[in-house]
């Protein structure tokens, strides 16, 4: 009986240690590059993963939709609701890699639209295009923390390789060698972007020049 109790105690200690280690690896500043150039974060590899495989890995469901900006730019995205990553809560946005011809085709075949808080149009995809979107590569993953970050917390990400100031209170911190960019805004919400290293130039060129509302 004593041996059994000792075994259970040791097992509990090991399990607790594993849970803590796993939880720490799910924090947004735990980012690493794989040999193939993809970026490992939140338990997934960004760069080659399809949208349906991303949902499977995260154990979350989201509906892909087509978004049109005020300037007429199109993107194919999916918004995930609140989820706990380690000890932190966040929402995620996945953007699929679709060329302009495909985006315009989806726009013609859209199944209804709504406006968003950021004054974009959100178009519902038909069944065929939803299935197509599920198989597309996720080229960018956006992490939207529920809580505001202060400078002390932002330092967990390490010193950026480049900073770009966009307003009096907001600037981008760029980490091209890690496939990551952060928006740090002392007067608003932080936004974290993750891509494969090969997509970093594309990410940098796509970053908004002013803070935006990212919500359905």
Secondary structure of 5-25 as H, E, C letters:
HHHHHHHHHHHHHHHHHHHHH
**Rounded-to-integer distance, Cα 54 and Cα 57, Å:** 5
**Rounded-to-integer distance, Cα 199 and Cα 181, Å:** 12
106 in helix, strand or coil?
helix
From first to last of its 216 residues, what are the pLDDT tens digits of the chain?
A: 444 444 444 434 444 444 555 556 889 999 999 999 999 999 999 999 999 999 999 999 999 999 999 889 999 999 999 999 888 999 999 999 999 999 999 999 998 989 888 888 999 999 999 999 999 999 999 999 998 888 888 989 999 999 999 999 999 999 999 999 999 999 888 999 999 999 999 999 999 887 665 544
Burial class, 41, CB count within 10 angstroms (exposed 0-12 / middle 13-18 / buried 19+) = buried
**Rounded-to-integer distance, Cα 110 and Cα 108, Å:** 6
The structure's pTM equals 0.85
What is the residue extent of each domain of the chain? 2-206
- Closest Cα to residue 185, out of 136, 151, 137? 151
- Chain position carrying tokens 């809560």: 89
DSSP 199: G
């Amino acid at each position: 009986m004593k041996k059994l109790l000792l075994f259970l105690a040791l097992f509990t200690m090991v399990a607790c240690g594993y849970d803590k280690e796993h939880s720490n690896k799910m924090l947004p500043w735990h980012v690493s590059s794989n040999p193939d150039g993809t970026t490992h974060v939140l338990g997934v590899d960004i760069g080659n993963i399809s949208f349906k495989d991303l949902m499977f890995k995260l154990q979350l469901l989201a509906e892909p939709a087509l978004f049109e900006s005020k300037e007429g730019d199109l993107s194919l995205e999916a918004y995930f609701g609140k989820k706990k990553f380690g000890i932190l809560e966040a929402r995620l946005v996945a953007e699929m890699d679709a060329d302009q011809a495909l985006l315009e085709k989806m726009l013609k075949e859209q199944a209804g639209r709504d406006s968003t808080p950021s004054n974009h149009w959100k178009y519902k995809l038909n069944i065929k295009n939803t299935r197509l979107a599920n198989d597309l590569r996720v080229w960018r993953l956006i992490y939207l923390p529920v809580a505001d970050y202060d400078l002390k917390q932002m330092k967990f990400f390490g010193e950026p390789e480049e900073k770009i100031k966009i307003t009096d209170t907001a600037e981008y911190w760029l980490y091209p060698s890690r496939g990551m960019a952060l928006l740090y805004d002392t007067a608003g919400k932080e936004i974290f972007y993750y891509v494969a290293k090969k997509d970093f130039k594309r990410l940098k060129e796509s970053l908004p020049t002013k803070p935006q509302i990212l919500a359905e």
